[in-house]
Structure 1
Amino acid sequence: MKRVFIAGATGYLGRFICAEYQRRGWYVIALVRKTSRAQRISADQLIEAQATQPATLEGLMAGADLVISCLGITRQADGLGYWDVDYQANVNLLHEAERAGVGRFAYIHVLRAAEMAHVPLVAAKSAFVNELQNSSLATTVIAPTGYFSDMGDFLKMAKAGRVWLFGDGSKRINPIHGADLALATADAIEAGSKWCDIGGPDIVTQKELAELAFTCLGKPSRIVFLPDVFRRLALRLLPLVTPRRISGPARFFLSAIAHDMVGAQHGTHHLKDHFESSLGVTKQYVRSTPMRKGKDHEPRACWRNRRPDLRSHIHFRLCPASHSAGPIGLRNEQHRRGSGSSIQPNQSSGDDHMEHRHLHRERARTCSVGCRTSGTVEKGLGGMEHYHSDLWHNLDNTGLGCRNDRQCGH
C-alpha cells in the first residue's frame, strides 16, 4: 500500500486531501500540531509534531511515497509569522523528505504569486517554492484560485445590507470547493505535473459574485463601487495602523481582488449551492440556539396593559419550529390550561395561579420536541409575577432544541 504524508491536515483543504487519498486506497499519515484538534480527519495515522522545529520531524517520513504540504497560516498567532511557517516550516519538511528519500513533494501555493510578491504571505510562499524547485525530489506545485470558504465574506456583506467593491467589479474569479481541489490535486500529482493553476467550474466577476450572494439571500442587490485609489491607499496604511495578524490577510485580500484569479476549470461543486447550503446551516443554528432572558431578546415581555384582565391573559410567543407568532392567550388556551379548559377574565384565585404554573412546568418536562420559544414575564392569576419560559425546557430533554419543521406538539 502506498503511503502519503500530509502536513497541514487540520486545515480546510488538508482534511479534503486526507479524505481523497483514503478513498484512493492510500495509507494516510496526517501531521498535526495537536491530536486533540484532529477530530474527524480521514487518516490512518496521526502524528503530533511541530514543523517549525526540525528535531520533531526526524524519521517521521520513513517509508512515505509522497509528501503533500498544505501548511501555512492566514492569521499570524502564537508569535509566529509567515516566514516562520509558510517558508521555514515547509523548508524543514522538504529537508526531512529529502533525507527519507520520498518520491515526490507537492505543495499548495497561491495563484498569480508573481504579481503579489510585495505581500508578505505570498513572498514567504514564493520563497519556499524556489527552494522546492531547486530540490532533488520530483515536485508538484498547485496554485488554486480561491476557496469557497473565502467567498463567505461576500455573503456576510450581503447579509449586512451592502457589498463593497473596489473598481467596477469586473475582475473575474472561479473559486473552488475543497473536495474538488483535493481531487484535482491528486490527479495532477498522479500525472506527474510540475505546476497546475486550478479553479472551480464557474467563472464569475466580482459584481456577479455579489449579486449571487444577494440572490441566495432573497434580497435586492445593493452594491457600492469604490474608486480603486482607496484600495491602494489601504494597502499602504494597513501595516502602519493595524497589527500584523489583521494587516497580513487584509493585504493579501486587497491585492488578490485587483487581478483576474482564474485557473483551469475543475470540479462539480457550484458556488450557488455552497451559499445556499451555508445559509441553511446558519438558519438551523439560529433555530437551535437558546434565547436568553434580557432586554435585547424580543418578544419576551407580556403585553403591559393597564387593564388587569388583559394583562393577566395575553402574552406573545414565537415558535421557531412552526414559524408562527401570536397571542397565546387568544389562540392557544390548550397550551396554558389543558384540553377542554377555559379561563375567565376575572378568575384570579391563588389556586389557579399555582395550577397554571404547575401545568406549564409539567408540559415543559414532557415536550418531546424541545421547541425553544421566547420567554415571557406574566402576571399570574393570583397577582404574582413569575418568569414564564418555554425555552428552557429543552434542557430537561435533549438540549438540542426543536430541529424539525413540524408544529411543536406541546
Structure 2
Amino acid sequence: MKKVLVAGATGYLGKYVVQTLKQQGYWVRALVRNQKKLSQTGKFGEPAVAHFVDDVFVGEITRPETLKGALEGIDWVFSSVGITRQKDGLSFWEVDYQANKNLLALAQQASIEKFVFVSVFQGEALAHKLAVAQAREAFVKELKQSGIAYSIVRPSGYYSDMSEFMTMAAQGRVFMVGNGSGVINPIHGADLAEVCVRAFQEDVPEVDAGGQEMFSYQRIGEMAFDVLDSKPRFLNIPVWATKVLIALIKPFNKQQADLFRFFVTAANNTEIAPKYGKHSLRQYFLDFALQKDSQESGVGSQ
C-alpha cells in the first residue's frame, strides 16, 4: 500500500483527492494548517474528509521549520497549494512557488518516489503575462529538475470558480467581460481528483484536463439564472475597462489584481482541455444553490 501526503487537503480539489485516494485503497496523510476544516463540508460542496484520513500533520507549508517529519514513511506527494482566495497577505512567489519548493526540498531528502503538482492550463504561455502562472511554472521547472518522478496536472478551470456566476446571478446581475464569447470546459473537483490519482499510477509527465461539457461564459451566466429561475440580467464590461480596474486594484492588493487579470484573460479565450469525468455543470449549480439555501437557513452540514 502506497502512503500519500496531500498538501492542500482542506481545499476544493484537495478534499476530493483525499477521498479518491482512500477509496482506491491508499494510506493518506493530510498536511493542513487547520485540522477542523477536514471535518467540514466546503463552501463549494467538497466533502468532509476527516474519516478518509489515516494521519494528520499540522504545519504551514510556507514555514519549513513546521514541516519536520511530515514526509516520514511517505511514498508519494500531492500538492495543489496555491493562492486562490486567501487574505493573509502572502504573495504568489511566497505560496505558489516557495511553499511548494519547501515541500519539494523535503521530498528530495526523503527520497519520495513521485510528486504530483497541480499547475494551470497553458501555464507556460501565461507565465509572461500573469504572476500566478509565472510563480507556478517556476516551481514546475524546479520539480522537473529535482530528480523525482513527477506529473504536472493542468486543469482548464474548476467548477468552484464557476460558482461566482451563481453568486452574481443571486444578486441580480452577472458581470461579463467583453461579449462573453470565451469558451471553457471546466472540470468538477471529483473528476479532476480521479485524473490526479491516475497521474500517480501512470508514467505521464503532464496532463491537461477539462470536463465533458464546453460552454461560453455567456451560456454559463444564462444557466445560473435559469437554475435560480430568475430573469437574465447582464452587464458587459469592455476589456479596456477591466484593465483600468486591475490598475486601480493593484496598488492595494497585487494578488487579487493578478487573479482578476487571470480570469479576464480566460474569459476572452477558448480554453478547451482533453475531456474527463462525468459531472454536469448544471447539476453542480443546482447542488450549490441547495447547499447555499441550507446554510442560510442554518441547516448546513459540518
Q: Shared fold (TM-score greater than 0.5)?
A: yes
Answer whether contact 2:4 2:28 (CA < 8 A) is retained: yes
Shift of residue 180, structure 1, vs aligned partner: 0.7
Once the two structures are overlaid, the 10-residue window that deviates more, 23-32 or 229-238, is 229-238
Code of the aligned partner of 2:218: K
Once the two structures are overlaid, the 10-residue window that deviates more, 61-70 or 90-99, is 61-70
Equivalent in the alignment of 2:126: 116
Shift of residue 76, structure 1, vs aligned partner: 4.5
Answer whether contact 2:172 2:233 (CA < 8 A) is retained: yes
Give the SS at the match of 1:25. Answer: coil
Give the SS at the match of 2:270. Answer: coil
Shift of residue 192, structure 1, vs aligned partner: 1.6
Equivalent in the alignment of 2:280: 270
Code of the aligned partner of 1:140: S
Distance in 2 of aligned mates of 1:161 and 1:77: 26
Give the SS at the match of 2:150. Answer: strand
Normalised by the size of structure 1, how large is the TM-score? 0.67
Equivalent in the alignment of 1:336: none
Give the SS at the match of 1:38. Answer: helix
2:290 pairs, out of 277, 280, 283, with 280
Distance in 2 of aligned mates of 1:50 and 1:61: 14
Code of the aligned partner of 1:252: F
Structure 1 vs Structure 2 CA RMSD: 2.0
Equivalent in the alignment of 2:140: 129
Structure 1 residues 199 and 276, CA gap change in structure 2 (3 angstroms): same
**Where does 1:257-406 land on structure 2 (aligned, <5 Å)?**
257-286=267-296, 288-289=297-298
| Stretches of structure 2 lacking an aligned partner (at least 5 in a row) | 40-47
| Stretches of structure 1 lacking an aligned partner (at least 5 in a row) | 290-399, 401-410
Give the SS at the match of 2:165. Answer: helix
Larger radius of gyration: 1
Distance in 2 of aligned mates of 1:285 and 1:237: 34
1:243 matched to 2:289: no
Structure 1 residues 140 and 217, CA gap change in structure 2 (3 angstroms): same
Distance in 2 of aligned mates of 1:58 and 1:136: 21
Equivalent in the alignment of 1:305: none
Give the SS at the match of 1:264. Answer: coil
Shift of residue 245, structure 1, vs aligned partner: 5.2
Equivalent in the alignment of 1:158: 169
Equivalent in the alignment of 1:378: none
1:214 matched to 2:222: no
Shift of residue 163, structure 1, vs aligned partner: 1.7
Equivalent in the alignment of 1:183: 194
Normalised by the size of structure 2, how large is the TM-score? 0.89
Answer whether contact 1:72 1:82 (CA < 8 A) is retained: yes
Distance in 1 of aligned mates of 2:265 and 2:86: 18
Code of the aligned partner of 1:3: K
Equivalent in the alignment of 2:44: none
**Where does 1:80-119 land on structure 2 (aligned, <5 Å)?**
80-117=90-127, 118-119=129-130
Equivalent in the alignment of 2:69: 59
Give the SS at the match of 1:130. Answer: helix
Answer whether contact 1:106 1:141 (CA < 8 A) is retained: yes
Distance in 1 of aligned mates of 2:245 and 2:207: 31
Distance in 1 of aligned mates of 2:168 and 2:85: 20
Give the SS at the match of 1:73. Answer: coil
Distance in 2 of aligned mates of 1:218 and 1:100: 54
Distance in 2 of aligned mates of 1:67 and 1:163: 39
Give the aligned length.
289
Give the SS at the match of 1:127. Answer: helix
Answer whether contact 1:163 1:210 (CA < 8 A) is retained: yes
Equivalent in the alignment of 1:45: 55
**Higher RCO, 1 vs 2 (CA within 8 Å, ≥6 residues apart):** 2
Distance in 1 of aligned mates of 2:89 and 2:35: 21
1:256 pairs, out of 248, 266, 273, with 266
Code of the aligned partner of 1:131: E
Give the SS at the match of 1:152. Answer: helix
Code of the aligned partner of 2:179: D
Deviations 1:294-348 (A, max 9, x none): xxxxxxxxxxxxxxxxxxxxxxxxxxxxxxxxxxxxxxxxxxxxxxxxxxxxxxx
Code of the aligned partner of 2:15: R
Answer whether contact 1:116 1:256 (CA < 8 A) is retained: no
Code of the aligned partner of 2:268: A
